[in-house]
Amino acid sequence: MKYLAIICLLGLFWQPLVQAQSDVPLRLAMLPYPEYAEYDAEGRATGHAVQVMVRLLEHAGYPYEVRLLPVARVRRGLMSGELDLWLGLNNQVGLEAYTLQSHATFGLVPINLYYRPGEPVPTWPDSLQGRTLILITNYSYSLPVSRTLQDTRLALQTRSSSSHTGAIRMLLRGRGDYLLDYRGQVASASASLGIDALPHIVVDEPPMRLFVSRQHAQAQALMNRLDQAFESLVREGVVMDVTRQ
């Protein structure tokens, strides 16, 4: 009876601690993108990708809050522990040093090399030799693509545009030989310009994954639980691809 009383007493102190930890919301960061991750009129995160992440976190039993942030703030937040999770691409040099990466894949994100209609189909990366490539200001790509762009043997020249529509205009006006950009952004920009889809080749298709900050007190357990929740939802027939609606 004495030992039983001690165990029960310990349980009284332990239970609130466990409950308090589970009530702390996970801070999930996502990059803003129209219809996939954006704020509504009331300042709440909404969109297809947000809905998929909410389904996952609720299935795993975690409270959460979703923040839409630029990639520079996401990187700082993961490093400092201000953020717990990020849905994105492994396109940050040294990302593995401060995050754990999910086994689960939430869809592929094609990176395309666009060229003007009527011109020869390029090859990657040989056609870049001595040419001018249009990039989007402050955008990062997959690590294999970034390494190619840094290859000095290509003697590659680059020009930047602050917008996807501006980049398309630059390409069509001959201010660059090729445009490197993500499929989704170019498709949306082309539609806004009222033009047909640009010819292109796919140069990489990096997967969307979840990244957990190593600063989280139970980073590995959190990552394992989210992977398990993902597999459970897929078995139920839930589509977990955030890149398609």
Assign residue 85 the CATH number of its domain: 3.40.190.10
d(CA 229, CA 106) in angstroms, rounded, equals: 13
Strands 157-161 and 132-136: parallel
Identify whether residues 187 and 217 lie together within a single domain.
Answer: no
In a domain, 47, yes or no: yes
Identify whether residues 116 and 175 lie together within a single domain.
Answer: yes
pLDDT at 155: 96
Cβ atoms within 10 Å, residue 34: 10
pLDDT at 13: 38
Number of domains in the chain: 2
pTM: 0.80
Identify whether residues 34 and 148 lie together within a single domain.
Answer: no
Identify whether residues 126 and 66 lie together within a single domain.
Answer: no
Q: Are 171 and 164 in contact, with CB atoms under 8 Å apart?
A: no
pLDDT at 35: 82
pLDDT at 127: 97
Identify whether residues 196 and 226 lie together within a single domain.
Answer: no
Write out the residue range of the structural domain in which residue 43 sits.
24-108+207-235
Identify whether residues 182 and 197 lie together within a single domain.
Answer: yes
User: How does pLDDT run along the chain (245 residues), one tens digit per residue?
Assistant: 444 443 343 343 333 323 334 579 999 999 988 888 999 999 999 999 999 999 999 999 999 999 999 888 999 999 999 999 999 988 776 788 999 999 999 999 999 999 999 999 999 999 999 999 999 988 888 889 999 999 999 999 999 999 999 999 999 999 999 999 999 889 989 999 999 999 999 999 999 999 999 999 999 999 999 999 999 999 999 999 998 76
Identify whether residues 211 and 104 lie together within a single domain.
Answer: yes
In a domain, 4, yes or no: no
- The phi and psi torsions of 30 (rounded to 5 degrees) equal -140, 155
pLDDT at 115: 98
In a domain, 240, yes or no: no
Print burial letters for 3-24: b (CB count within 10 Å at least 16), e (below 16): eeeeeeeeeeeeeeeeeeeeee
Identify whether residues 172 and 65 lie together within a single domain.
Answer: no
Q: Is 171 exposed, middle or buried (0-12, 13-18, 19+ CB in 10 A)?
A: buried
